[in-house]
Amino acid sequence: MRQTALVLAALAISGSLGAGPALADPSHCPPGHAKKGWCSPGPKYVYRRGDYIPRTRYVIVEDYDRYGYGRPPSGYGYVRVDGDVFLIALATGLIVEALR
The pLDDT value recorded for residue 3 is 56
Cβ neighbourhood burial of 13 (10 Å; 0-12, 13-18, 19+): exposed
Which residues, including other chains, have CB under 8 Å from residue 70's CB and lie 6 or more apart?
A: 64
Type of residue at 97: E
Q: From the CA atom positions of the chain, what is the Rg in Å? A: 23
Give the CATH superfamily of 44-100. Answer: inner membrane protein cigr (3.10.450.160)
The predicted-structure confidence for 67-88, as pLDDT tens digits, reads as follows: 899 999 999 999 999 889 999 9
The CA-atom distances, in angstroms, between 84 and each of 71, 78, 94 are: 18, 10, 15
Region of 18 on the Ramachandran plot (φ > 0 left; ψ -120 to 50 alpha; else beta) = left
- Segment 9-31 mean pLDDT: 51
6, pLDDT greater than 60: no
Domain parsing of the chain, residue ranges? 1-41, 44-100
Q: Per-residue pLDDT tens for 30-61?
A: 777 766 666 766 667 889 999 999 999 999 99
